[in-house]
Structures are given as structure tokens and as C-alpha cells.
Structure 1
């Protein structure tokens, strides 16, 4: 029997992107009602920092992190940092770069250097920066090394944190628990997803991922937030899917 250790569960709002686009404040209200304690943003849908801050306070939601495109990180970094400072969110994450960048050694090396420089600038403003993986960073090699490992080995841990997406690690054929151990102390936030038997996205607790193992290893590796995300919802509406994920977590005693 496992020892009960409650964890902090947040939601990546990309899962509810259509709902957020229609009405962000109503969506955040529903997220809080379901029992999520924090959110990770994937855009702000035209809302100002003052408006977003007011919503977070009203629904007692913590702004865990925010996904910011590589283009905005390159072109609008001072503005991005000021917006996130105003809403109280200090963890900025690069969520995606073109997979082709990791198929070309020179471009991959240049990107890694660029990410470290962005991370150092973010750090100088008292915030933290991280990189979120998909499968392609683990399926490509850089100088004989898995590209994701090369990225983290060639950057300072203080400049580029690891936001590990456990689904994509498994999808790439790697061991998500091994990655949690490998980057212990560098992973304040992970993406908690589940995988159906056919490899598609599933509600957390309904698929093949070893949740007890993930929490056991994550809790000893310094994970502070487990962020539920479901890129696509096959059998339910996205709102129903995030409800099922939370219900599963509650049933298993993790919340």
C-alpha cells in the first residue's frame, strides 16, 4: 500500500483552448470548481494583465507557468516578462519549436544557445525559464546524443529548466520515470498526461501511464506541480475530459 502524499494539480489551459477563446473568465471559474489549484496559460485571449490577475484572485487559482511562443520570446521578451510579472507568473516556458530544427545539427546547436540566452535574460528579471518537450526532441540525435538530453546538458540548469511532458517521452519510446530521475532538481513542473492503448491521448487515470510511479518518483525529484493536459479529446468534450482526470486523481487519493 502506498503512502498518501497529496500533490499540487494544475491544468494546462491549452486543453480548454476553445472554451478560453469564447470566455476566459467563465472557463477559469469552471476549472476552479473542478478542484484544480493552478493553471498554466497558453495565451491570454486578448485580456489585459490587470484582467487576468483579477480572474486569478477571484477564483483562487495560482498562475503556475505560461507557454510563450519562440517568436514572442525572440521579438517581445521585455513585454512578455512585464505582462507575466503583473499577473504573478514567474515561470515562462518555450512550448514548441519546429521539429526540423532538431534534424540539422547546426540549427539545433544555435537554438540551444539561443534558449540559454533567453533563460539568462528571464533570470535577470527574477523569473524562471524552461523548455517543454514533444517526441521529436527524443527521436533525433545531436552529436550522437538524444537531442533533449543535449539541450539540457549544454545549458545551465539555472537558465533552462525542464518541463517534462511525460506522455511525449513515452510516445518517443523512452522511460518517463528515468527522465524524472535524470533531471531531479530541474523539473518544478511536469505535464501529466495519460495514453490510451492505441497511443492516443486519454484522460488521466484511464490509460496505461503508471501514475503511482510518476508521483513517487516526481515527489522525490523536486516536482512542485503536476499539470494535467490533454491535447485532443476523443470521447468527451474537453471540459468533461478535464473533469474525468480530476475525478480519477481524487479517487486514487492524489488530491
Structure 2
């Protein structure tokens, strides 16, 4: 089994990125993260960002791109990622008003299959990143989550599985990782607990309910390429939280680059 790369979803550091993108990326590299997944480029031209990443030794894994931008500017998004040398273009979220019915989901899946086919033509992979709501509705007796990945071939949407949200939805992330072996290049590596109302609280790695060590083992067996650390909302300064989470990885994953 190949070792997993350790990346960071920069949405965790969105406020720091907006204030000082270059300084934030330098900090991420100094911590020891090997790659980054973007959630916006904060006005930096692709060529300049590529030069910075090369200087820092950071791999551009891919980027979360809104459904609106995928629809309105797919070629521009693909061109930017190709300049960075990234491989993955990822739909991260579907707005509530767009996902109220199975018919709406069928239309979204069809659109995403079109994005996937075009991305494949141009040497990229199109992935979909889940939350919990893909397990709240079914299409023809299967969860929307599974319907999203039902097609194979040129129109195949591949998987960026957020294990935190899978578990929060009441499903088994280990079983789902195994189910999508070979189609799961990226695993969002995230921990959580619940508040008194049952709402999610995302935590630094090792402080919550996810069996992260078993996730690592399952991800390796499934042929995943990257564990992508993410924390939606941090209880400490986000720069501290991403450092603490990486320290957990270093202490608990023998494959990590020291």
C-alpha cells in the first residue's frame, strides 16, 4: 500500500488566507503539510501561486469550486488548476434550496456528470465532497450519496469522502471507504462531537468521535492518495488548530513524512 500524503483544506484558514495568503501558505509549509486544497484563490493569478507553491514545496492537490462557478466558468476553473499542476476539481456543497427534492438532485447529478466528462477530457478528475444531507434523501431506493457515484466510465463522478459528515449522518465511514475503493483519491480527515442539541462541533484531530486510526488504515487499503485535514470551525485560533491536528497525524500515522 502506498503511503498517504497529508494535505490541508485551506477553508479552515479562510480568514488568515484572506488577510495574508502568502504568509499563511508559508506557515502551512513550515508546519510540514505536504499539499493544500484550495477554497478560493483570493485574487492571486495562477502563475504567481504556482511559483509560490513550488518555492514552498507544497503540492496543489485540487480546489473546491462552487456549483455556480462550475456552471458559469468551468473552463476558467480547469485552466487555473492545470496551471497549478493540480489534479482534482471538486464540488464542495449544494445550497439548501437546490436540494429539496429527488428531482433536483437528479438534475444536479446530471450536471456534475457533464463536468466530470469535460474534466476527464482535459486531464483532471471531478470529485464530489459530501456533507450529511446526501443521506437524508433517496433516489430510487438509494441514498443521494450513492446515486451521485452510480455512473462509471467517462461520466464518472469520483469521491472526496468527508468521514466526519458520513459518521454524523449515522453511517459507517469505514464501510463507505471500502465501498468506494479505487474511486476515492481524497479523504477529508476530520473529527467532531455534538452539542446538547445534537448539532455538529468540528474538532482538532483526536478530540472527537471518529476512529481516525481505523480511517487511515481503511483509506490506505482503498487506494486513497491524500488525507486532507479540515476543521470547519475552530475553537482555538485556526493556525493553532491546524498545527495541533498535524501533530496528531505525526504521532499516530507511521507513514507521515517527518
Range of TM-score over shorter length: over 0.9
Show structure 2 runs of 5+ residues with no match.
Answer: none
- How far the C-alpha of 1:126 sits from its partner, in A, is 1.1
Q: What does residue range 1-80 of structure 1 map to in structure 2 within 5 Å?
A: 7-80=4-77
The alignment partner of 1:184 has SS state of: coil
Query: Does the 8 Å contact 2:185/2:223 carry over to 1?
Result: yes
Do the aligned partners of residues 157 and 132 (structure 1) sit closer, same or farther apart at CA in structure 2, a change above 3 Å counting?
A: farther
The alignment partner of 2:99 has SS state of: helix
Is 1:219 aligned with 2:220? yes
Q: What does residue range 82-97 of structure 1 map to in structure 2 within 5 Å?
A: 82-97=79-94
- How far the C-alpha of 1:168 sits from its partner, in A, is 0.5
Query: Does the 8 Å contact 2:213/2:252 carry over to 1?
Result: no
Q: What does residue range 100-111 of structure 1 map to in structure 2 within 5 Å?
A: 100-111=97-108
Query: Does the 8 Å contact 2:163/2:188 carry over to 1?
Result: yes
Q: Deviations over 1:93-148 (max 9, x none)?
A: 01111234333122111111111011001111111111000110112112221111
Query: Does the 8 Å contact 1:116/1:155 carry over to 2?
Result: no
- How far the C-alpha of 1:73 sits from its partner, in A, is 0.7
Show structure 1 runs of 5+ residues with no match.
Answer: none
What's the TM-score once normalised by structure 1's chain length?
Answer: 0.94
What's the TM-score once normalised by structure 2's chain length?
Answer: 0.93
Is 1:123 aligned with 2:124? no
The alignment partner of 1:43 has SS state of: coil
- How far the C-alpha of 1:186 sits from its partner, in A, is 0.3
Do the aligned partners of residues 136 and 244 (structure 1) sit closer, same or farther apart at CA in structure 2, a change above 3 Å counting?
A: same
Q: Deviations over 1:136-166 (max 9, x none)?
A: 0112112221111111114548631100011
Do the aligned partners of residues 57 and 21 (structure 1) sit closer, same or farther apart at CA in structure 2, a change above 3 Å counting?
A: same
- How far the C-alpha of 1:195 sits from its partner, in A, is 1.2
Do the aligned partners of residues 179 and 9 (structure 1) sit closer, same or farther apart at CA in structure 2, a change above 3 Å counting?
A: same
Moved more, 177-186 or 193-202: 193-202
